[in-house]
Amino acid sequence: MPELPEVETIRRGLSSRVVGQIISGVRVGARRILKVPAQRLVRAVRGQVIRGLDRRGKFLIFELDRHYCVLHLGMTGQLTVREPEQRDASRFFRHPITGLERARQHAPDHHTHLQLFFESGRALLFRDVRQFGKVFLLDKKPATRIRFFAHLGLEPLSPEYTLQSFLQKFGNRKLRIKSLLLDQSFVAGVGNIYADEALFEAGIHPRRTVRSLRRWEKEQLFEAIPAVLQRGITWGGTTLRDFVNSDGEAGNHQEELKVYGRTGQPCLRCGCPIQRVVISQRGTHFCPGCQSRRGFLKHRALRRIC
């Protein structure tokens, strides 16, 4: 489930290897992921040069000469470079214990839904098992780009992410804070894993309503979100099953997770067993000792209450 840190890891890995490349051909697989007619995509993209690679939230933006090609990796999207002189791994390797999937370089298979071929011989492969990914083609006009991303909220790790703009996004709502974090019009790029991690970092129970949060708790969350995202980038992204970077390698941040996927294991801060509940149809992990339901833990003396 690529979230901001995973998409950013891919962007950084891809950037030097695709920017400047001339697109000589395109091949599409499943049409479901294409949000533009296949013929139009193929015709529009062929012959253009990749001028830049950008990111907004979980979207990757390939800047071409006359278009933006925008990709969303959905749940299982993988974007890897294939070098002509390198040998393909014969198949994906799944570790028997960790379940991690990896391959140094893989040949396209029936889950590879988009291939961009470059004049250099290099290729860019978009593989997406569950087909929740999306491919958009935008005309290269500032207004078009702005309209396309208009529904997205604050970009964390950017200068526009300020406490003032953050606080304005709350309002007097009954919505649960976990649900708000998953809403891309709040802070763009936060998904299920980093939402849980940020709430743990901020000491806020995921079932708390937005309106119940105190000012100081919102400030804690404001700090926690970029902190957990930056940590994810630093460790090369979180690989639970499907995430691989542009080289086909798994990330390392899964080892650093404090609550996500640690149901029943002791909290690393207080020792309480981590609990799992469902909020907004998403598995939600938290520490009942460290994450207050009522905002009582301001002066966290690390009370052992569990």
Active site residues: 2-3, 58, 282
Quick check: 5 and 197 in contact, CB under 8 A? no
> Least distance from C-beta 285 to DNA, angstroms?
9
Query: What is the distance between the alpha carbons of residues 274 and 15, in angstroms, rounded to a whole number?
Result: 38
First to last CA, the chain: 32
Determine if 281 is a binding residue for DNA (CB under 7 A): yes
- The residue type at 94: R
Determine if 10 is a binding residue for DNA (CB under 7 A): no
Nearest CB to DNA, comparing residues 99 and 271: 99
Query: Could you say which of 20, 31, 32, 40 contacts DNA (CB under 7 A)?
Result: 32
Query: Could you say which of 37, 52, 84, 99 contacts DNA (CB under 7 A)?
Result: 99
DSSP state of 130: S
Determine if 175 is a binding residue for DNA (CB under 7 A): yes
Name the segment binding DNA (CB under 7 A); options: 45-53, 162-170, 177-185, 228-236.
177-185
Query: Could you say which of 280, 288, 292, 295 contacts DNA (CB under 7 A)?
Result: 280
Determine if 3 is a binding residue for DNA (CB under 7 A): yes
Among the listed residues 52, 36, 73, the one whose alpha carbon sits nearest the alpha carbon of residue 189: 73
Token reading at 98: 């960790």
> Least distance from C-beta 192 to DNA, angstroms?
3
Determine if 239 is a binding residue for DNA (CB under 7 A): no
Name the segment binding DNA (CB under 7 A); options: 14-22, 72-80, 160-168, 243-251.
72-80
Among the listed residues 37, 100, 111, 108, the one whose alpha carbon sits nearest the alpha carbon of residue 74: 111
Determine if 8 is a binding residue for DNA (CB under 7 A): no
Residue 8, judged by CB atoms within 10 A of its CB (0-12, 13-18, 19+), counts as: buried
Q: CB atoms < 10 A from the CB of 71, how many? A: 22
Quick check: 177 and 210 in contact, CB under 8 A? yes
Q: Which residues contribute to the site for DNA (CB under 7 A)? A: 1, 3, 32, 57-58, 72, 74-75, 94, 99, 111, 129-132, 151, 171, 173-176, 179, 182, 184, 191-193, 210, 278, 280-283
